[in-house]
Amino acid sequence: VTEPTIRTTPTWLDGLWATLLGVPDLWLVLDSPRCMAELLVESGAEDHAWRQRLLRLDGHDRVFSTDLSISKVDLGETAAMLARIAALAREGTRPGAILVSEMAPARVIGNDLAALSREVEAATGVATRVVEHLSLTRDGLDAYGAAGAALARAMPDAALAGDRDSVAVVGLMADRAEADALADARELRALVGSLGVDVSAVWTSCEPVAALAAAGSSRRIVALPCGREAALTIAARSGAEVLEANLPVGLDGTARWLRAVGAWLGRDREAERAVEAGLAGAVPLVAPLVPSVFAGRRIAVVAEPALAAGLCGWLAELGVRVEGPIVRCRRAEGIPAGLATAGDVRGFDPSVESLTRWMSRLIEDGPLDLVVGSSREREVLRSFDTPFLELGYPSIHYRPLRDAPRVGFAGAVHLAERLANRLAETRYERLVRRHARGEGRG
Amino acid sequence: VARKVREERGGRILTHDNVVSEGPLAHLDNRWAPFLSGALGNGEAGIDPAGVNLCGYFTADAPARAEVEALLAAVGVRVRGVAFPYVDPASVAALASASLWVVSPWAVVEKGLGAAVDGLGLKALRTPGPFGMDGTRRWVDAIATALGLPPLDAGRFESLVRPWQAAWEGVRARLAGRSAALVAPGAHLAEALGPAFFYGLDPVALLRDLGLRVFLVPTGQPGDACKDPGAIPDGVELILPAPGEPVSGTLRRAGCDLVYSDYATDARVLAAGAMPFGVRDLEPGPGGAVRTGQRILARCGTPFFRSYGHLVEGGGP
């Protein structure tokens, strides 16, 4: 830690919330003071996802706190929580799996998670696994990866048998059951399907645990960046082969992704046909926007590592001058070479201080048309008079109701549409301001 | 409104519609003469022998105005007023004091304002606009010469444009090796590439000043372009269409980065794997030359149609 201002990188708990939002029958037991757990769920997950609630007024919660407190810690008192979760699992919607984790303070004073996990499993009869806890040094993506691995360990042995010819895609961070994440899952399924193979599962895709477990039956797994731990855990149990791949973002990114997966599956010709068809559908839609809207624009990007490279590549294809990206992860290890710094500003783990300094430098260098980032960067940069487009976790002020993919050919088109409309809106707003000042009549 | 003001307050009231687009200007062609006649008054204003009015090159609030005013001041020329497409209200009273009306040779300007200037017997200079660094210098020199003043020497010009020089050289260096194509009817090359048609500027000179290779693709009957070799500007590379070849095919064969088009999304250009550029990308003045280069550079740097141009619909003849 070199400077003390608040970071916007998703926290360890954000990663757990995102996992829960992407798997509707997954529950979480959190060793924590109850009020803190509720506050953090509400300020993180519940602002981002409207169609799911992790805490519900009818008591059918999906996050359970041990109600840890200094006064009770010596007693190891979890009986009340166990009774409640057992009753809900018995009487309400039965969970597909339960994860057990803890908040940072509990690391010092909290319960033994392995023992707690055994107690929860005994009380509910539901597979329960501990998410290895590293909340002080790791970020939301680490948590998502660790939670995915825990889910993979919870997968029943019976899931490991079945149709071995299918392919599973593991590591899409479907962080809310809304039209962006749902469309991403469908696009990934369609992309792999276009190679002429069956897709057993897309992790996570807002489908229940049982549907995810179908990944265990596949002989091959495409592991996306956020799901490498989960994919390797499944593969260690099932013997599947794993291909590590990036997210297919942008036209060129998607074409290269399809060709790589196709080559790995021995389906080069199918891949080529799929690329041809995908481009033929997407290019005529995007083409008019390139000379009239995108060429020469200057856009700054703050994004998760999995999205950053693909998004910047897509913007460059469109003729945009890209600033950044600033990558939303806690550690520099693992992010693509050259992204660790943006000028003299740290290129990862953005904070109030680093983002403000970065933005000031960008504006000094010339007009900036747009910033792309999550609601957190938007809040930090709100004092700058630069248009913003929300993309990533959390997106509090952007809620698609219809298909809004980010991956695949359709995702490239949709991203171009969102960006172009935001840029057009900005252009109009600036025109109105100029006219109000009496400028630009000619 | 003007009549009421005249009745109530007296004095001389001039009316002129401020318009911003080419369309309405056509309807205003016959209004320039009475307006200018009124603005000039009875000759009571003193004439500034080094005073000029700039007509049809830029609007009064354009960044280019301050840029070229500084250059003109260096040769002793004072800008009294700016006219067309609208008259800067602040300079109406000063129009009468100019000894020279510098008028863009663009036909749209010529038809209304240019004709009015001539009709009133005002001294006028027609010269292509100050586009590009060389073009700006030629424009300043032409005005100075018309007023009998010595033109800028090279050293003085360089010192005056020094604020933009590094950026200009940088843009030119990055544009080296890039190419732009102009498509024009082979039977009318001189007109199509002349300033009367081309917004009052010399497109070939500007593109070459930017450091671009310039291709010329003549359309129409084969051989049209060769009938008058004198109409082919110096320094352009002629790319003749093959018989029956669509324009997009010829452009693709030329392998150019950019093609001039008045349509921002001209499918014939996109299908050729090139980016269109247009008059909106071109800006007068030395700073405008840099900004023009930066816009052109951004368009050259857009790879989309090099990769996907073959998938663009509507790239036929």
* Contact call for A442 and B308, based on CB within 8 A: no
Strand-strand pairing, A345-346 and A341-342: antiparallel
Chain B residues touching residue A291 (CB < 8 angstroms): 264-265, 270, 275-276, 299, 302
pLDDT in the model for residue B28:
64
pLDDT in the model for residue B9:
78
pLDDT in the model for residue A64:
92
pLDDT in the model for residue B196:
95
CA distance B157 to chain A (A): 26
Tallying the residues shown for chain A, one arrives at 442
The mean pLDDT value for A320-327 works out to 94
Helix (H), strand (E), coil (C) string for chain B: CHHHHHHHHCCCCCCCCCCCCHHHHHHHHHHHHHHHHHHHCCCCCCCEEEEEEEECCCCCCCHHHHHHHHHHHHCCCEEEEEECCCCCHHHHHHHCCEEEEEECCCHHHHHHHHHHHHHCCCCEEECCCCCHHHHHHHHHHHHHHHCCCCCCCHHHHHHHCHHHHHHHHHHHHHHCCCEEEEEEEHHHHHHHCCCCCCCCCCHHHHHHHCCCEEEEEEECCCCHHHHCHHHCCCCEEECCCCCCCCHHHHHHHHCCCEEECCCCCCHHHHHCCCEEECHHHCCCCHHHHHHHHHHHHHHHCCCHHHHHHHHCCCCCC
pLDDT in the model for residue B124:
97
pLDDT in the model for residue B83:
87
One-letter identity of residue A439 = E
Burial of B236-254, coded b for 16+ CB within 10 Å and e otherwise, reads beebbbeeeebbbbbbbeb
Q: Strand locations in A224-275, DSSP E?
A: 241-244
Burial class (CB in 10 A: 0-12, 13-18, 19+), B56: buried
* Contact call for B295 and A296, based on CB within 8 A: yes
Strand-strand pairing, A128-130 and A97-102: parallel
* Contact call for B307 and A296, based on CB within 8 A: no
* Contact call for B304 and A252, based on CB within 8 A: no
* Contact call for B86 and A441, based on CB within 8 A: yes
Chain segment A173-195, per-residue pLDDT in tens: 999 999 999 999 999 999 999 99
The number of CA neighbours under 13 Å toward the Cβ of A155 is: 30
**What is chain B's Cα-based Rg?**
22
Burial class (CB in 10 A: 0-12, 13-18, 19+), A1: exposed
Chain A residues touching residue B62 (CB < 8 angstroms): 442
Residue of B nearest to A442 (CA): B20
Contact B201, B135 (CB under 8 A): yes
Q: What is the pTM of this model?
A: 0.89
pLDDT > 90 fraction of chain B, expressed in percent and rounded: 69
pLDDT in the model for residue B5:
76
Q: How far is CA B315 from the centre of its chain?
A: 28
The Cα–Cα gap between A344 and B58 comes to: 40
**Phi-psi region at B277: left, alpha or beta (left = phi > 0; alpha = psi -120 to 50):** beta
Give B103's pLDDT tier (boundaries 50, 70, 90). very high
Average pLDDT, chain A: 90
Chain segment A84-93, per-residue pLDDT in tens: 999 999 987 8
Q: Chain A within 8 Å of B66 (Cβ-Cβ)? A: no
Question: Tokens at residue B58, please?
Answer: 């830029």
Contact B86, B18 (CB under 8 A): yes
pLDDT in the model for residue B23:
44
| Nearest alpha-carbon partner for A147 in A133, A126, A127 | A133
pLDDT in the model for residue A163:
67
* Contact call for B20 and A295, based on CB within 8 A: no
* Contact call for A284 and B276, based on CB within 8 A: no
Which residues make Cβ contacts (< 8 Å) with residue A72, sequence separation at least 6? none
The SS3 assignment for A287 reads coil
- Count of C-beta atoms within a 10 Å radius of residue B119: 12
| Nearest alpha-carbon partner for A422 in A297, A287, A321 | A297
- Count of C-beta atoms within a 10 Å radius of residue B48: 16
Q: Chain B within 8 Å of A295 (Cβ-Cβ)? A: yes
pLDDT in the model for residue B4:
74
**Enclosing H/E stretch for A360:** helix A352-365
Residue B294 reports pLDDT greater than 70: yes
Higher-confidence residue of A96 and B23: namely A96
Q: Cite the DSSP H helix spans in A60-215.
A: 79-91, 106-109, 113-124, 140-154, 179-193, 209-213
Chain segment B75-84, per-residue pLDDT in tens: 999 999 998 8
pLDDT in the model for residue B20:
42
Complex confidence, ipTM: 0.89
Give A104's pLDDT tier (boundaries 50, 70, 90). confident
Residue B225 reports pLDDT greater than 80: no
Burial of A367-389, coded b for 16+ CB within 10 Å and e otherwise, reads ebbbbbbbbbbbebbeebebbbb
* Contact call for A291 and B265, based on CB within 8 A: yes
Higher-confidence residue of A258 and A432: namely A258
Q: Cite the DSSP H helix spans in A287-336.
A: 289, 305-317
Q: How far is CA B154 from the centre of its chain?
A: 23
The pair phi, psi for residue A97, each rounded to 5°, is -165, 160
Minimum mean pLDDT range among A129-133, A179-183, B42-46, B223-227 = B42-46
- CA dist A245 to A104, A253, A258, Å? 32, 11, 10
Residue of B nearest to A298 (CA): B298
Please give the biggest Cα pair distance in chain A: 78
Contact B212, B235 (CB under 8 A): no
The pair phi, psi for residue A339, each rounded to 5°, is -100, 0
Q: Chain B within 8 Å of A285 (Cβ-Cβ)? A: no
Contact B174, B211 (CB under 8 A): no
* Contact call for B298 and A439, based on CB within 8 A: no
* Contact call for A291 and B312, based on CB within 8 A: no
The Cα–Cα gap between B89 and A103 comes to: 68
The mean pLDDT value for B268-287 works out to 96
Chains A, B: CB contacts within 8 A come to 75
Give B86's pLDDT tier (boundaries 50, 70, 90). confident
Residue A337 reports pLDDT greater than 80: no
The Cα–Cα gap between A213 and A234 comes to: 9
pLDDT in the model for residue A107:
72
The Cα–Cα gap between A167 and A174 comes to: 19
**What is chain A's Cα-based Rg?**
23
Residue B263 reports pLDDT greater than 60: yes
Give contacts of B 276-315 with A, CB under 8 A: 276, 294-295, 298-299, 301-305, 307-308, 311-313
Residue A124 reports pLDDT greater than 90: yes
Chain segment A131-189, per-residue pLDDT in tens: 977 767 789 999 999 999 999 999 999 888 766 789 999 999 999 999 999 999 999 99
pLDDT in the model for residue B19:
46
Which residue is listed with tokens 């007509």? B55
Alpha carbon dihedral B207, B208, B213, B214, in 10-degree steps, equals 60
pLDDT > 90 fraction of chain A, expressed in percent and rounded: 71
The SS3 assignment for A305 reads helix
The mean pLDDT value for B112-126 works out to 94
Give B229's pLDDT tier (boundaries 50, 70, 90). confident
Residue A36 reports pLDDT greater than 90: no
B84, B174, B302, B306: which to substitute to probe chain A, counting the most A Cβ within 10 Å?
Answer: B302
One-letter identity of residue B44 = E
Chain A residues touching residue B302 (CB < 8 angstroms): 290-291, 294-296, 318-319
CA distance A340 to chain B (A): 25
* Contact call for B304 and A286, based on CB within 8 A: yes
pLDDT in the model for residue A404:
97
Question: Tokens at residue A70, please?
Answer: 């200094």
Q: Which among A283, A287, A296 has CB closest to B298?
A: A296
Chain segment B9-30, per-residue pLDDT in tens: 777 776 665 544 444 444 566 7
Residue A288 reports pLDDT greater than 80: yes
Question: Tokens at residue B260, please?
Answer: 């001039």
Question: Tokens at residue A317, please?
Answer: 């294809």
